Amino acid sequence: MRALNKLLLEIQANTQPPKEVMIDFDDTVITVFGNQEKANVGYNPKYHGRSSYKEKVGIISDTKELIDLTLEAGSLLRLRQDVSGT
């Protein structure tokens, strides 16, 4: 699915002139119940000490197009994530 989304965005980028866009980034904690693969105890403001995942999403504001979605272990802490454009 990610490869298809990337291909569609490349086609759109090659057929339309450049324009300014606003990108929304969101970082959300998803609490899991039971024994889920790669879920770890980490920052969880609602359920302290529970296993969770970190979901990171990038969305184009105007069109609500999904740019990227990652699901990481709840114990992963990134204070800064670089975003580079070419």
- Match 């802490």 to its residue by tokens: 77
What mean pLDDT, rounded, does the chain reach?
82
pLDDT at 74: 78
pLDDT digits (tens, 9 = 90+) for 17-48: 878 889 998 888 888 888 888 888 888 888 88
Instruction: Please check the confidence at residue 8 and state whether its pLDDT lies above 60.
Output: yes
Instruction: Please check the confidence at residue 81 and state whether its pLDDT lies above 80.
Output: no
Closest CA to 38 of 26, 46, 30, 27: 30
Instruction: Please check the confidence at residue 61 and state whether its pLDDT lies above 70.
Output: yes
Residue 7: which pLDDT band, with cuts at 50, 70 and 90? very high
